[in-house]
A and B are shown apart, each in its own frame.
Chain A
Amino acid sequence: MINNKLSLETYIELAQKENKALYEVMLEENAKEMDTAPIALQAKMQEMLQVMKESIDFGLTGVKSHSGLTGGSAKALTEAMKGPQYKSLLGPLAQDALVYSLAVAEANAAMGRIVAAPTAGASGVLPGVLFALKKHRKLSDIDLQKGLIVAGNIGIVIASRSSLSGAMGGCQAECGSAAAMAAGAAVSMLGGTPEQVGHAVAIVFKNMLGLVCDPVAGLVEVPCIKRNGGGAMQALLAAEMSLAGIKSFIPADEAIDAMKEVGDRMPCALKETAEGGLAHTPTALAWAKKYFSK
Protein backbone atom coordinates (compact mmCIF):
# COMPACT_ATOMS: atom_id res chain seq x y z
CA MET A 1 0.00 0.00 0.00
CA ILE A 2 1.40 3.37 -0.99
CA ASN A 3 1.29 5.72 1.94
CA ASN A 4 3.12 8.91 1.12
CA LYS A 5 3.02 11.40 3.94
CA LEU A 6 0.89 14.33 2.90
CA SER A 7 1.25 17.78 4.39
CA LEU A 8 -1.27 20.44 5.29
CA GLU A 9 1.48 23.07 5.06
CA THR A 10 2.02 22.12 1.41
CA TYR A 11 -1.65 22.76 0.63
CA ILE A 12 -1.54 26.04 2.52
CA GLU A 13 1.61 27.21 0.69
CA LEU A 14 0.14 26.17 -2.67
CA ALA A 15 -3.04 28.17 -1.99
CA GLN A 16 -0.99 31.20 -0.95
CA LYS A 17 1.33 30.94 -3.94
CA GLU A 18 -1.49 30.59 -6.46
CA ASN A 19 -3.64 33.09 -4.58
CA LYS A 20 -6.51 30.64 -4.41
CA ALA A 21 -8.90 29.55 -1.69
CA LEU A 22 -7.79 26.44 0.17
CA TYR A 23 -10.84 24.47 -0.93
CA GLU A 24 -10.03 25.33 -4.55
CA VAL A 25 -6.54 23.79 -4.56
CA MET A 26 -7.82 20.82 -2.57
CA LEU A 27 -10.76 20.24 -4.91
CA GLU A 28 -8.51 20.41 -7.98
CA GLU A 29 -6.09 17.96 -6.40
CA ASN A 30 -8.87 15.52 -5.42
CA ALA A 31 -10.53 15.67 -8.84
CA LYS A 32 -7.20 14.95 -10.53
CA GLU A 33 -6.38 12.10 -8.15
CA MET A 34 -9.83 10.55 -8.50
CA ASP A 35 -10.00 11.11 -12.25
CA THR A 36 -13.30 12.94 -11.99
CA ALA A 37 -14.71 16.45 -12.51
CA PRO A 38 -14.63 18.94 -9.60
CA ILE A 39 -18.36 19.53 -10.07
CA ALA A 40 -19.04 15.80 -9.62
CA LEU A 41 -17.16 15.82 -6.32
CA GLN A 42 -19.13 18.84 -5.14
CA ALA A 43 -22.35 17.02 -6.02
CA LYS A 44 -21.13 14.06 -3.99
CA MET A 45 -20.46 16.40 -1.05
CA GLN A 46 -24.04 17.65 -1.35
CA GLU A 47 -25.30 14.05 -1.10
CA MET A 48 -23.25 13.60 2.06
CA LEU A 49 -24.67 16.83 3.51
CA GLN A 50 -28.16 15.52 2.81
CA VAL A 51 -27.50 12.29 4.72
CA MET A 52 -25.97 14.33 7.56
CA LYS A 53 -29.10 16.47 7.74
CA GLU A 54 -31.30 13.36 7.81
CA SER A 55 -29.22 11.81 10.57
CA ILE A 56 -29.58 14.99 12.66
CA ASP A 57 -33.36 14.85 12.19
CA PHE A 58 -33.45 11.13 13.02
CA GLY A 59 -31.39 11.67 16.18
CA LEU A 60 -33.60 14.57 17.28
CA THR A 61 -36.62 12.26 17.42
CA GLY A 62 -35.05 10.80 20.56
CA VAL A 63 -33.77 7.43 19.32
CA LYS A 64 -32.51 4.79 21.75
CA SER A 65 -29.59 2.44 21.09
CA HIS A 66 -30.17 -1.30 20.64
CA SER A 67 -28.41 -2.04 23.92
CA GLY A 68 -30.62 0.46 25.73
CA LEU A 69 -27.54 2.12 27.24
CA THR A 70 -27.92 5.50 25.54
CA GLY A 71 -30.21 7.74 23.55
CA GLY A 72 -32.56 10.66 23.84
CA SER A 73 -30.11 13.27 25.10
CA ALA A 74 -30.24 15.44 21.95
CA LYS A 75 -34.01 15.59 22.23
CA ALA A 76 -33.91 16.17 25.99
CA LEU A 77 -31.40 19.01 25.60
CA THR A 78 -33.50 20.66 22.88
CA GLU A 79 -36.57 20.52 25.08
CA ALA A 80 -34.74 21.82 28.15
CA MET A 81 -33.45 24.78 26.16
CA LYS A 82 -36.96 25.72 25.16
CA GLY A 83 -38.01 26.14 28.80
CA PRO A 84 -38.75 29.75 29.85
CA GLN A 85 -36.38 29.59 32.84
CA TYR A 86 -33.50 28.02 30.88
CA LYS A 87 -30.33 30.09 30.73
CA SER A 88 -27.86 28.72 28.20
CA LEU A 89 -24.20 28.84 29.05
CA LEU A 90 -23.03 28.29 25.52
CA GLY A 91 -25.14 30.67 23.47
CA PRO A 92 -27.28 29.79 20.44
CA LEU A 93 -24.61 28.74 17.91
CA ALA A 94 -22.60 26.45 20.17
CA GLN A 95 -25.83 25.14 21.69
CA ASP A 96 -27.07 23.98 18.31
CA ALA A 97 -23.69 22.51 17.39
CA LEU A 98 -23.86 20.49 20.61
CA VAL A 99 -27.44 19.32 20.03
CA TYR A 100 -26.81 18.33 16.40
CA SER A 101 -23.60 16.47 17.14
CA LEU A 102 -25.28 14.50 19.94
CA ALA A 103 -28.23 13.78 17.65
CA VAL A 104 -26.05 12.22 14.93
CA ALA A 105 -23.98 10.25 17.45
CA GLU A 106 -27.20 8.89 18.96
CA ALA A 107 -28.56 8.04 15.52
CA ASN A 108 -25.33 6.12 14.87
CA ALA A 109 -25.57 4.16 18.12
CA ALA A 110 -29.15 3.27 17.19
CA MET A 111 -27.85 1.67 13.96
CA GLY A 112 -29.25 4.53 11.91
CA ARG A 113 -27.85 5.75 8.59
CA ILE A 114 -24.97 8.21 8.95
CA VAL A 115 -21.96 9.57 7.07
CA ALA A 116 -18.74 8.21 8.55
CA ALA A 117 -16.77 11.45 8.52
CA PRO A 118 -14.10 10.47 9.27
CA THR A 119 -15.50 7.48 11.18
CA ALA A 120 -18.89 6.39 12.45
CA GLY A 121 -17.85 6.80 16.08
CA ALA A 122 -16.99 10.46 15.43
CA SER A 123 -19.74 11.08 12.88
CA GLY A 124 -21.54 13.75 14.93
CA VAL A 125 -18.82 16.40 15.09
CA LEU A 126 -18.83 17.65 11.48
CA PRO A 127 -22.62 17.79 11.01
CA GLY A 128 -22.90 19.55 14.37
CA VAL A 129 -20.48 22.32 13.44
CA LEU A 130 -21.51 22.63 9.77
CA PHE A 131 -25.26 22.82 10.33
CA ALA A 132 -25.01 25.13 13.36
CA LEU A 133 -22.90 27.53 11.26
CA LYS A 134 -25.34 27.18 8.35
CA LYS A 135 -28.20 28.24 10.57
CA HIS A 136 -26.52 31.01 12.56
CA ARG A 137 -24.15 32.44 9.96
CA LYS A 138 -26.55 32.07 7.03
CA LEU A 139 -24.22 29.86 5.01
CA SER A 140 -25.36 28.33 1.72
CA ASP A 141 -25.25 24.70 0.61
CA ILE A 142 -22.28 25.60 -1.58
CA ASP A 143 -20.44 27.09 1.41
CA LEU A 144 -20.99 23.81 3.25
CA GLN A 145 -19.78 21.76 0.29
CA LYS A 146 -16.57 23.79 0.26
CA GLY A 147 -16.23 23.36 4.01
CA LEU A 148 -16.61 19.61 3.64
CA ILE A 149 -13.89 19.51 0.98
CA VAL A 150 -11.49 21.29 3.34
CA ALA A 151 -12.52 18.98 6.19
CA GLY A 152 -12.03 15.90 4.02
CA ASN A 153 -8.56 16.94 2.95
CA ILE A 154 -7.51 17.64 6.52
CA GLY A 155 -8.67 14.07 7.20
CA ILE A 156 -6.66 12.72 4.27
CA VAL A 157 -3.54 14.43 5.63
CA ILE A 158 -4.18 13.03 9.12
CA ALA A 159 -4.71 9.52 7.70
CA SER A 160 -1.44 9.70 5.79
CA ARG A 161 0.62 10.96 8.74
CA SER A 162 -1.20 9.24 11.58
CA SER A 163 -4.51 7.40 11.75
CA LEU A 164 -8.25 8.00 11.91
CA SER A 165 -8.95 4.82 13.82
CA GLY A 166 -9.59 4.52 17.55
CA ALA A 167 -8.10 1.03 17.52
CA MET A 168 -4.83 2.46 16.17
CA GLY A 169 -4.63 5.90 17.81
CA GLY A 170 -7.28 6.21 20.50
CA CYS A 171 -10.14 8.72 20.51
CA GLN A 172 -7.75 11.57 19.70
CA ALA A 173 -7.55 9.95 16.24
CA GLU A 174 -11.34 9.80 15.91
CA CYS A 175 -13.10 12.65 17.74
CA GLY A 176 -9.82 14.59 17.71
CA SER A 177 -9.48 14.26 13.95
CA ALA A 178 -13.17 15.01 13.43
CA ALA A 179 -12.82 18.18 15.50
CA ALA A 180 -9.69 19.22 13.60
CA MET A 181 -11.53 18.69 10.32
CA ALA A 182 -14.55 20.65 11.56
CA ALA A 183 -12.38 23.48 12.89
CA GLY A 184 -10.59 23.80 9.56
CA ALA A 185 -13.90 23.73 7.71
CA ALA A 186 -15.36 26.40 10.02
CA VAL A 187 -12.38 28.74 9.57
CA SER A 188 -12.41 28.38 5.82
CA MET A 189 -16.21 28.79 5.50
CA LEU A 190 -16.09 31.93 7.62
CA GLY A 191 -13.46 33.54 5.43
CA GLY A 192 -10.28 32.68 7.33
CA THR A 193 -6.99 32.42 5.47
CA PRO A 194 -5.42 29.04 4.55
CA GLU A 195 -2.84 29.68 7.28
CA GLN A 196 -5.61 30.19 9.83
CA VAL A 197 -7.08 26.81 8.83
CA GLY A 198 -3.74 25.25 9.74
CA HIS A 199 -3.65 26.98 13.13
CA ALA A 200 -7.20 25.81 13.93
CA VAL A 201 -6.22 22.20 13.16
CA ALA A 202 -3.13 22.47 15.36
CA ILE A 203 -5.08 24.05 18.24
CA VAL A 204 -7.61 21.19 18.22
CA PHE A 205 -4.88 18.57 18.53
CA LYS A 206 -3.19 20.54 21.30
CA ASN A 207 -6.42 20.38 23.25
CA MET A 208 -7.39 16.79 22.45
CA LEU A 209 -4.03 15.03 22.41
CA GLY A 210 -3.97 11.88 24.50
CA LEU A 211 -7.70 11.25 24.46
CA VAL A 212 -8.15 7.49 24.87
CA CYS A 213 -10.73 5.21 23.28
CA ASP A 214 -12.45 3.45 26.17
CA PRO A 215 -15.96 2.46 25.13
CA VAL A 216 -18.10 0.79 27.79
CA ALA A 217 -18.69 -2.86 26.79
CA GLY A 218 -16.97 -2.03 23.50
CA LEU A 219 -20.09 -0.25 22.27
CA VAL A 220 -19.96 3.08 20.41
CA GLU A 221 -22.11 4.72 23.07
CA VAL A 222 -20.44 5.68 26.37
CA PRO A 223 -18.44 7.95 26.27
CA CYS A 224 -18.54 8.31 22.46
CA ILE A 225 -21.81 10.19 22.18
CA LYS A 226 -20.90 12.99 24.59
CA ARG A 227 -17.38 13.11 23.14
CA ASN A 228 -18.93 14.02 19.81
CA GLY A 229 -20.51 16.98 21.57
CA GLY A 230 -17.14 17.75 23.13
CA GLY A 231 -15.42 17.49 19.75
CA ALA A 232 -17.84 20.00 18.23
CA MET A 233 -17.10 22.43 21.08
CA GLN A 234 -13.33 21.99 20.64
CA ALA A 235 -13.73 22.72 16.94
CA LEU A 236 -15.58 25.98 17.62
CA LEU A 237 -13.07 26.98 20.29
CA ALA A 238 -10.14 26.45 17.92
CA ALA A 239 -11.89 28.20 15.04
CA GLU A 240 -12.73 31.17 17.27
CA MET A 241 -9.12 31.55 18.40
CA SER A 242 -7.69 31.10 14.94
CA LEU A 243 -10.12 33.52 13.27
CA ALA A 244 -9.16 36.09 15.93
CA GLY A 245 -5.57 35.82 14.67
CA ILE A 246 -4.20 33.65 17.47
CA LYS A 247 -1.52 31.31 16.21
CA SER A 248 -0.40 27.87 17.25
CA PHE A 249 3.29 27.69 18.14
CA ILE A 250 3.34 24.07 16.90
CA PRO A 251 2.42 23.82 13.19
CA ALA A 252 -0.47 21.56 12.10
CA ASP A 253 1.64 18.82 10.48
CA GLU A 254 3.78 18.51 13.59
CA ALA A 255 0.72 18.45 15.85
CA ILE A 256 -0.64 15.57 13.73
CA ASP A 257 2.71 13.77 14.02
CA ALA A 258 2.57 14.27 17.80
CA MET A 259 -0.89 12.69 17.75
CA LYS A 260 0.60 9.66 16.00
CA GLU A 261 3.42 9.39 18.50
CA VAL A 262 1.00 9.56 21.42
CA GLY A 263 -1.22 6.97 19.71
CA ASP A 264 1.67 4.59 19.14
CA ARG A 265 2.70 4.84 22.79
CA MET A 266 -0.84 4.40 24.05
CA PRO A 267 -1.39 0.93 25.55
CA CYS A 268 -3.81 -1.40 23.73
CA ALA A 269 -6.11 -1.38 26.74
CA LEU A 270 -6.92 2.26 25.88
CA LYS A 271 -7.47 1.73 22.16
CA GLU A 272 -11.00 0.48 21.61
CA THR A 273 -10.53 -2.86 23.36
CA ALA A 274 -12.79 -1.90 26.27
CA GLU A 275 -10.10 -3.00 28.72
CA GLY A 276 -9.24 0.34 30.28
CA GLY A 277 -10.37 3.85 31.15
CA LEU A 278 -14.10 4.41 31.57
CA ALA A 279 -14.77 0.92 30.19
CA HIS A 280 -12.90 -0.49 33.18
CA THR A 281 -14.80 1.35 35.94
CA PRO A 282 -16.98 -0.65 38.35
CA THR A 283 -20.15 0.82 36.87
CA ALA A 284 -19.10 -0.05 33.31
CA LEU A 285 -17.98 -3.56 34.21
CA ALA A 286 -21.19 -4.30 36.09
CA TRP A 287 -23.31 -3.09 33.17
CA ALA A 288 -21.24 -5.01 30.61
CA LYS A 289 -21.56 -8.21 32.63
CA LYS A 290 -25.32 -7.87 32.71
CA TYR A 291 -25.46 -6.97 29.00
CA PHE A 292 -23.35 -9.91 27.80
CA SER A 293 -25.22 -12.43 29.95
CA LYS A 294 -28.48 -11.54 28.20
Chain B
Amino acid sequence: MNLLDVIGPVMIGPSSSHTAGAVRLGLLAVSILGESPIKADIALHGSFAQTYRGHGTDMALLAGLMGWMPDDARIPEADIYAKQKGLQYNFATIDLGELTHPNTVRFNLEGVTGKKCMVTGSSIGGGQVCVTQIDDFPVELSGKLPGVLIVHQDRPGVIALVSGKLSEYKVNIAGMKVFRTNKGGTATMIIECDQMVSDEAIKALRAIKNVESVRFINNVL
Protein backbone atom coordinates (compact mmCIF):
# COMPACT_ATOMS: atom_id res chain seq x y z
CA MET B 1 0.00 0.00 0.00
CA ASN B 2 1.36 3.43 -0.85
CA LEU B 3 0.55 7.02 0.14
CA LEU B 4 -2.07 7.46 -2.59
CA ASP B 5 -3.85 4.25 -1.57
CA VAL B 6 -4.37 5.65 1.91
CA ILE B 7 -4.94 9.33 1.02
CA GLY B 8 -7.34 8.54 -1.79
CA PRO B 9 -8.83 7.59 -4.08
CA VAL B 10 -11.06 10.52 -4.93
CA MET B 11 -14.38 8.78 -5.27
CA ILE B 12 -18.14 8.95 -5.24
CA GLY B 13 -19.42 7.83 -1.83
CA PRO B 14 -20.51 6.19 0.27
CA SER B 15 -18.08 3.25 0.79
CA SER B 16 -14.51 2.75 -0.38
CA SER B 17 -14.75 -1.03 -0.19
CA HIS B 18 -18.35 -1.37 -1.37
CA THR B 19 -18.41 1.47 -3.93
CA ALA B 20 -14.90 2.47 -5.16
CA GLY B 21 -13.47 -1.04 -4.75
CA ALA B 22 -16.48 -2.45 -6.58
CA VAL B 23 -15.89 -0.07 -9.53
CA ARG B 24 -12.29 -1.27 -9.69
CA LEU B 25 -13.32 -4.93 -9.58
CA GLY B 26 -15.61 -4.26 -12.55
CA LEU B 27 -12.81 -2.52 -14.43
CA LEU B 28 -10.38 -5.33 -13.70
CA ALA B 29 -12.88 -8.01 -14.76
CA VAL B 30 -13.32 -6.29 -18.12
CA SER B 31 -9.56 -5.97 -18.50
CA ILE B 32 -9.28 -9.72 -17.91
CA LEU B 33 -12.07 -10.44 -20.40
CA GLY B 34 -10.14 -8.29 -22.86
CA GLU B 35 -13.19 -6.72 -24.52
CA SER B 36 -16.43 -4.90 -23.67
CA PRO B 37 -18.96 -7.17 -21.97
CA ILE B 38 -22.49 -7.54 -23.36
CA LYS B 39 -23.67 -9.93 -20.68
CA ALA B 40 -22.79 -10.07 -16.99
CA ASP B 41 -23.98 -12.50 -14.34
CA ILE B 42 -22.84 -11.03 -11.05
CA ALA B 43 -22.87 -13.08 -7.84
CA LEU B 44 -22.19 -11.39 -4.50
CA HIS B 45 -20.74 -13.07 -1.42
CA GLY B 46 -20.65 -12.11 2.28
CA SER B 47 -21.00 -8.45 3.18
CA PHE B 48 -21.35 -7.64 -0.52
CA ALA B 49 -24.40 -9.92 -0.64
CA GLN B 50 -25.90 -8.45 2.52
CA THR B 51 -25.42 -4.74 1.95
CA TYR B 52 -24.98 -4.17 -1.77
CA ARG B 53 -28.18 -2.19 -2.25
CA GLY B 54 -27.43 0.33 0.48
CA HIS B 55 -23.85 0.94 -0.63
CA GLY B 56 -24.64 1.18 -4.32
CA THR B 57 -22.32 -1.82 -4.87
CA ASP B 58 -24.51 -2.98 -7.76
CA MET B 59 -24.27 0.44 -9.43
CA ALA B 60 -20.52 0.55 -8.82
CA LEU B 61 -19.92 -2.91 -10.35
CA LEU B 62 -21.92 -1.93 -13.44
CA ALA B 63 -19.99 1.36 -13.64
CA GLY B 64 -16.72 -0.57 -13.65
CA LEU B 65 -18.01 -2.95 -16.33
CA MET B 66 -18.77 0.12 -18.46
CA GLY B 67 -15.23 1.41 -17.97
CA TRP B 68 -16.05 4.29 -15.63
CA MET B 69 -13.69 5.46 -12.89
CA PRO B 70 -14.60 5.54 -9.15
CA ASP B 71 -15.06 9.34 -9.17
CA ASP B 72 -17.59 9.32 -12.04
CA ALA B 73 -20.62 11.37 -11.03
CA ARG B 74 -22.95 9.09 -13.05
CA ILE B 75 -22.37 6.10 -10.72
CA PRO B 76 -25.67 6.47 -8.80
CA GLU B 77 -27.53 5.93 -12.12
CA ALA B 78 -25.24 3.28 -13.63
CA ASP B 79 -28.12 0.82 -14.13
CA ILE B 80 -29.92 3.26 -16.44
CA TYR B 81 -26.78 3.72 -18.55
CA ALA B 82 -26.16 -0.06 -18.62
CA LYS B 83 -29.65 -0.65 -20.00
CA GLN B 84 -29.16 2.08 -22.61
CA LYS B 85 -25.88 0.48 -23.65
CA GLY B 86 -27.55 -2.90 -23.99
CA LEU B 87 -25.47 -4.51 -21.25
CA GLN B 88 -27.53 -7.46 -19.98
CA TYR B 89 -26.91 -7.97 -16.30
CA ASN B 90 -28.20 -9.98 -13.42
CA PHE B 91 -27.41 -9.85 -9.69
CA ALA B 92 -27.55 -12.85 -7.38
CA THR B 93 -26.05 -13.84 -4.04
CA ILE B 94 -23.63 -16.71 -3.56
CA ASP B 95 -21.93 -18.44 -0.62
CA LEU B 96 -18.25 -19.01 -1.41
CA GLY B 97 -17.48 -20.34 2.05
CA GLU B 98 -16.22 -18.90 5.31
CA LEU B 99 -12.63 -18.58 4.17
CA THR B 100 -13.57 -16.21 1.36
CA HIS B 101 -13.13 -12.48 1.99
CA PRO B 102 -16.47 -10.91 3.04
CA ASN B 103 -16.46 -8.44 0.13
CA THR B 104 -16.25 -10.81 -2.79
CA VAL B 105 -17.89 -10.85 -6.22
CA ARG B 106 -17.92 -13.44 -8.98
CA PHE B 107 -18.52 -12.25 -12.53
CA ASN B 108 -19.49 -14.49 -15.41
CA LEU B 109 -18.92 -12.26 -18.41
CA GLU B 110 -19.57 -12.55 -22.09
CA GLY B 111 -17.90 -10.07 -24.44
CA VAL B 112 -18.86 -8.47 -27.75
CA THR B 113 -17.08 -11.17 -29.77
CA GLY B 114 -18.51 -13.98 -27.66
CA LYS B 115 -15.47 -14.41 -25.39
CA LYS B 116 -16.42 -15.75 -21.99
CA CYS B 117 -14.66 -15.44 -18.68
CA MET B 118 -15.27 -16.05 -14.99
CA VAL B 119 -13.56 -13.65 -12.60
CA THR B 120 -13.68 -13.77 -8.80
CA GLY B 121 -12.30 -10.87 -6.80
CA SER B 122 -12.44 -9.18 -3.41
CA SER B 123 -12.51 -5.60 -2.26
CA ILE B 124 -9.99 -5.74 0.56
CA GLY B 125 -10.41 -2.28 2.10
CA GLY B 126 -9.82 1.37 1.24
CA GLY B 127 -10.73 0.72 -2.40
CA GLN B 128 -7.96 -1.87 -2.85
CA VAL B 129 -8.90 -5.00 -4.75
CA CYS B 130 -7.54 -8.47 -5.37
CA VAL B 131 -8.69 -10.84 -8.10
CA THR B 132 -8.35 -14.35 -6.68
CA GLN B 133 -9.59 -16.54 -9.49
CA ILE B 134 -9.80 -16.39 -13.29
CA ASP B 135 -11.91 -19.18 -14.79
CA ASP B 136 -10.75 -22.24 -12.81
CA PHE B 137 -7.31 -20.88 -11.99
CA PRO B 138 -6.34 -19.35 -8.65
CA VAL B 139 -4.47 -16.05 -9.08
CA GLU B 140 -3.52 -12.96 -7.09
CA LEU B 141 -3.90 -9.77 -9.04
CA SER B 142 -4.22 -6.24 -7.65
CA GLY B 143 -4.85 -4.38 -10.90
CA LYS B 144 -2.09 -1.92 -10.00
CA LEU B 145 0.43 -3.32 -12.49
CA PRO B 146 0.12 -4.89 -15.93
CA GLY B 147 -0.22 -8.65 -15.59
CA VAL B 148 0.25 -11.78 -17.65
CA LEU B 149 -1.71 -14.96 -17.02
CA ILE B 150 -0.09 -18.05 -18.51
CA VAL B 151 -1.67 -21.50 -18.57
CA HIS B 152 0.90 -24.21 -19.27
CA GLN B 153 1.87 -27.80 -18.73
CA ASP B 154 3.75 -28.40 -15.49
CA ARG B 155 7.18 -29.28 -16.95
CA PRO B 156 10.70 -28.38 -15.82
CA GLY B 157 12.01 -25.16 -17.36
CA VAL B 158 8.78 -23.48 -18.44
CA ILE B 159 9.09 -20.80 -15.75
CA ALA B 160 12.70 -20.10 -16.75
CA LEU B 161 11.73 -19.81 -20.42
CA VAL B 162 8.90 -17.40 -19.62
CA SER B 163 11.01 -15.17 -17.37
CA GLY B 164 13.84 -15.29 -19.91
CA LYS B 165 11.48 -14.18 -22.67
CA LEU B 166 10.16 -11.32 -20.53
CA SER B 167 13.69 -10.16 -19.80
CA GLU B 168 14.45 -10.27 -23.54
CA TYR B 169 11.61 -7.78 -24.00
CA LYS B 170 12.94 -5.65 -21.11
CA VAL B 171 9.99 -6.43 -18.87
CA ASN B 172 10.76 -6.56 -15.15
CA ILE B 173 8.77 -9.00 -13.01
CA ALA B 174 7.35 -7.28 -9.91
CA GLY B 175 5.60 -10.37 -8.55
CA MET B 176 4.92 -13.89 -9.67
CA LYS B 177 2.81 -16.79 -8.43
CA VAL B 178 2.67 -20.31 -9.77
CA PHE B 179 -0.13 -22.79 -9.17
CA ARG B 180 -0.79 -26.26 -10.51
CA THR B 181 -3.65 -28.72 -10.41
CA ASN B 182 -1.36 -31.74 -9.99
CA LYS B 183 2.22 -32.74 -10.66
CA GLY B 184 2.83 -32.75 -14.40
CA GLY B 185 -0.70 -31.46 -15.04
CA THR B 186 -2.03 -28.02 -15.91
CA ALA B 187 -0.33 -25.11 -14.18
CA THR B 188 -0.78 -21.34 -14.19
CA MET B 189 1.55 -18.44 -13.71
CA ILE B 190 0.32 -14.99 -12.80
CA ILE B 191 3.01 -12.39 -13.33
CA GLU B 192 2.73 -8.72 -12.37
CA CYS B 193 5.13 -6.57 -14.38
CA ASP B 194 6.64 -3.10 -14.01
CA GLN B 195 6.24 -2.43 -17.73
CA MET B 196 3.57 -2.92 -20.37
CA VAL B 197 3.95 -6.23 -22.18
CA SER B 198 3.84 -5.69 -25.95
CA ASP B 199 1.75 -7.81 -28.35
CA GLU B 200 5.03 -9.02 -29.77
CA ALA B 201 6.20 -10.23 -26.37
CA ILE B 202 2.85 -11.95 -25.77
CA LYS B 203 3.21 -13.70 -29.12
CA ALA B 204 6.72 -14.84 -28.19
CA LEU B 205 5.42 -16.19 -24.86
CA ARG B 206 2.72 -18.14 -26.70
CA ALA B 207 5.39 -19.79 -28.85
CA ILE B 208 7.12 -21.32 -25.81
CA LYS B 209 6.82 -25.11 -25.67
CA ASN B 210 4.24 -26.42 -23.15
CA VAL B 211 2.55 -23.00 -22.92
CA GLU B 212 -1.17 -23.38 -23.65
CA SER B 213 -2.43 -19.84 -23.44
CA VAL B 214 -1.21 -16.35 -22.59
CA ARG B 215 -3.47 -13.54 -21.55
CA PHE B 216 -2.35 -9.95 -21.03
CA ILE B 217 -4.22 -8.05 -18.34
CA ASN B 218 -3.87 -4.29 -18.33
CA ASN B 219 -3.69 -2.48 -15.00
CA VAL B 220 -6.74 -0.49 -13.95
CA LEU B 221 -5.40 1.66 -11.10
Contact = CB atoms under 8 A, between A and B. Distances in A.
Contacts of B92: none
Interface in B113-146: 124-127, 130, 140, 142
Interface residues of B, number: 41
Contacts of A16: none
A292 B53 contact: yes
Contacts of B124: 165, 168
A164 B125 contact: yes
Interface in A27-72: 30, 33-34, 41, 44-45, 47-48, 51, 65-67
A180 to B, nearest CB: 12
Interface string A232-275: 00000000000000000000000000000000000010011111
B55 A151 contact: no
B3 A149 contact: yes
A152 B12 contact: no
B2 A34 contact: yes
A88 B201 CA distance: 67
A165 B125 contact: yes
Interface stretch (A89-97, A106-114, A134-142): A106-114
Nearest to A288: B54
Contact of B6 (A41, A156, A271): A156
B54 A217 contact: yes
A103 interface: no
A220 B16 CA distance: 10
Given A116-B126, A273-B51, A108 B14 contact: yes
Contacts of A273: 46-47, 50-51, 102
A204 interface: no
A164 B6 contact: yes
A160 interface: yes
A211 interface: no
A252 to B, nearest CB: 16
B47 A167 contact: yes
Given A107-B13, A164-B126, A218 B19 contact: no
Contacts of B11: 113-116, 120
A163 interface: yes
Contacts of B50: 218, 273-275
Query: For chain A, which range describes its interface: under 10, 10 to 19, 20 to 34, or 35 or more residues?
Result: 35 or more
B112 interface: no
B10 A48 contact: yes
Given A111-B76, A113-B73, A151-B7, A121 B125 contact: no
A156 B126 CA distance: 11
Summarize B's interface: helix, strand, loop or mixed: mixed
A117 B76 contact: no
Contacts of B19: 120
A172 interface: no
A119 B51 contact: no
A128 interface: no
A117 B125 contact: no
Contacts of B140: 1
B185 interface: no
Nearest to B1: A159
Contacts of A67: 54
B74 to A, nearest CB: 11
A230 interface: no
A268 B71 CA distance: 30
B128 to A, nearest CB: 9
Contact of A2 (B2, B12, B175): B175
Contacts of A2: 175
Closest 5 CB pairs of A and B: A165-B125, A218-B51, A108-B13, A155-B6, A220-B14
Interface of A: 1-2, 30, 33-34, 41, 44-45, 47-48, 51, 65-67, 107-121, 123, 148-149, 151-153, 155-156, 159-160, 163-168, 181, 215, 217-221, 268, 271-275, 292
Interface of B: 1-17, 19-20, 46-47, 50-51, 53-56, 71, 73, 75-76, 102-103, 124-127, 130, 140, 142, 175
27 contacts: A34-B2, A34-B4, A45-B7, A48-B7, A48-B10, A113-B11, A113-B12, A114-B10, A116-B16, A117-B6, A119-B17, A120-B13, A123-B13, A148-B7, A155-B7, A156-B1, A156-B2, A156-B3, A163-B125, A164-B126, A168-B124, A217-B54, A218-B54, A220-B15, A221-B14, A272-B51, A275-B50
